[in-house]
Amino acid sequence: MKIFNTLSRRKEEFVPLEPGKVKMYVCGPTVYNYIHIGNARPMIVFDTVRRYFEYKGYEVNYVSNFTDVDDKIIKKAIEEGVESEVISRRYIEECKKDMEGMNVKPATTHPQATQEIASMLKMIQTLIDKGYAYAAFDGTVYFRTDSFRDYGKLSHKNLDELQSGFREIKVTGEEGKESPSDFVLWKPKKEGEPYWDSKWCQGRPGWHIECSVMAKKYLGEQIDIHAGGEDLIFPHHENEIAQSEAANGKPFATYWMHNAFLNIDTNGHVQKMSKSLGNFFTVREISERYDLQVLRFFMLSAHYRSPLNFSAELMEASKSGLERILTAAERLRDAGKAAEREKAAGTQGMSASEQENRTLAEELAFKYEAAMEDDFNTADAIAAVFELVKLSNSTVSPDSSAAYIDFMKELLEKLCGVLGILTVRKAEALDEEIEAMIEARQQARKAKNFALADEIRGKLLDMGIVLEDTREGVKWKRV
């Protein structure tokens, strides 16, 4: 398996720190509003990376944080006249709803910055003790960038050039800096802001120290993969490396993965998505027009390192592409039901032609895996899925053997599952739930548990489902 490593700017063979295990940290959102589709891209991309590692048998410890103390959160809280934690708590919950809609698996751990302050203070003190950080006269603690020899190795920026650029930026309140490129580890509170006590001042952490501390606490001093959007390469991830490696005395992350920007295509005019330009959409807004599975499919239709243009036309194309897969999966399920009698009778397995087609399907699965092994090329993986759909549509019918139908259905579901693509429509999933409840009611009646049977019938009625007991069996309809 090869991964493009931002650190080396080339594809490298993946070798985990510990055989069979992957330690992965992905920078999460700052929770002051609904997440936008730019936030959604790394969530979907790296959830898919995680799913593929699990598909290959790795045990993945996946950590993704919530930044719940920030200037934007404080500003929103002041506007609403509430405490900052009210805002962060609200939008963490809303973010989780959107993640569920996009079928993004919950992280192994979702740490919050405000719950890790003690560990941040400890790391800051370690950096001061080692000479990598210093406290200014006002209590601000800065990281001394020129003390870290490898500063700039991720972004491939030269420190002298960086310092020259920083000197052109006049920032008030930073007179205590030794060098213009030094960055904040701890800063004094302002009136009305949340704060924590420290030996330097009452204040709060800088943004960069948060992720270094949370990665160390939940994954250890060394991790396999650190990931996020390419806008985080500098200064955020660069500063994380400096802090973590200075404090811990060892390499921080082996592989650095970054997804490219999401652009907005409006009538052929492509712009980088930006809140300042007012050209962004929230995931919640998209959910009002599309099933969020369409958004996920759209995000995976391009390689994660390629810029992706968001447009209504491309979303419609993604909707059509997803529909092809869902229709093929539905046909397989229908064919499977028709073959149930043969399956129950224990008749023969696959025919010779079906065996040949099974071999073709397995070759497509190898093609799919080859795409994913090559730096998680989901676009080519989806192309392999479409070839599997075409093969299924042309070779499966109700007359096919149950063994062949089951094989094709399970393979399609497995490959889509790695991409986080559900192969059952929401309405269809509900129908299956109803059928299961009706079957449970029938079993209760056979066992003469009429109270339970009546309870299930009542629940179905609450769902708008009316049952009719006929000579042919139980029939149901929506009212």
**For 122-141, what is each residue's pLDDT tens digit?**
999 999 999 999 999 999 99
User: How far, in Å, CA of 2 to CA of 21, rounded?
Assistant: 16
Q: What is the pLDDT of residues 75-121, one digit of tens each?
A: 999 999 999 999 999 999 999 999 999 999 999 999 999 999 999 99
Q: Averaged over 170-177, what is the pLDDT? A: 63
Domains of the chain (ranges plus CATH)? 2-259 (3.40.50.620), 312-418 (1.20.120.640), 426-478 (no CATH)
More confident position, 174 or 179: 179
Alpha helix positions (H), 349-401: 352-373, 378-395
Instruction: State the pLDDT confidence band at 472, using cuts at 50, 70 and 90.
Output: low
What is the mean predicted confidence (pLDDT) over 452-477?
Answer: 81
* Interval 459-478 mean pLDDT: 78
| Distance (Å, whole) CA 392 – CA 370 | 21
Arithmetic mean of pLDDT, 421-425: 93
pLDDT in tens, 328-382: 999 999 888 877 656 655 556 899 999 999 999 999 999 999 999 999 999 999 9
At residue 162, the pLDDT reads 67
Closest listed residue to residue 52, CA positions, set 257, 306, 232? 257
Lowest-pLDDT range of 123-137, 206-220, 447-461: 447-461
Neighbours of 237 (CB within 10 A): 27
Mean pLDDT score across all residues of the chain: 92
Among 239, 236, 421, 408, which Cα is nearest to 325's? 421
**Mean pLDDT, rounded, for 415-437:** 86
- Using pLDDT thresholds of 50, 70 and 90, give the confidence band for residue 169: very low
pLDDT attached to residue 117: 98
pLDDT at residue number 429: 64
Largest pairwise CA distance in the chain:
88
Which range is least confidently modeled, 251-255, 291-295, 395-399? 395-399
What is the 3-state composition of the chain as percent helix, strand, coil, each rounded to the nearest 5? 50, 15, 30
pLDDT band at 170 (very low <50, low <70, confident <90, very high): very low
Question: For position 168, what pLDDT does the model report?
Answer: 45
Q: Which residues of 401-436 are buried (b: 16+ CB within 10 A; e: fewer)?
A: bbbbbbbbbebbbebbebbbbbbebeeeeeeeebee
Q: How many CA atoms lie within 13 A of 306 on its CB side?
A: 13
Instruction: Please write the tens of the pLDDT for every residue from 29-62.
Output: 999 999 999 999 999 999 999 999 999 999 999 9
Q: What is the pLDDT of residue 186?
A: 98
* The pLDDT value given to residue 167: 44
> What's the CA dihedral at 184, 186, 192, 197 to 10 degrees?
-170
Q: Report the percent of the chain where pLDDT is more than 90.
A: 77
pTM of the model: 0.88
Amino acid (one-letter) located at 310: F
